Amino acid sequence: MISAKMRIRQVKEVEIEGLGERIKQARLDSSKSLEQICDEVGLSRTYWYDIEKETLKGALSIENLRKIEEVLGVSFGVNLEEDCDI
Q: Which domains does the chain have, with CATH numbers?
A: 20-72 (1.10.260.40)
- Average pLDDT, integer, range 16-21: 93
pLDDT in tens, 25-80: 999 999 999 999 999 999 999 999 999 999 998 899 999 999 999 999 999 988 87
pLDDT given for residue 10 in this prediction = 74
CB neighbour burial string for 57-82, b if at least 16 within 10 angstroms, e if fewer: eeebeeeebebbbebbebebeeeeee
pLDDT category of residue 82 using cuts at 50, 70 and 90: low
How high is the pLDDT of residue 80?
74
pLDDT surpassing 50 at residue 84: no
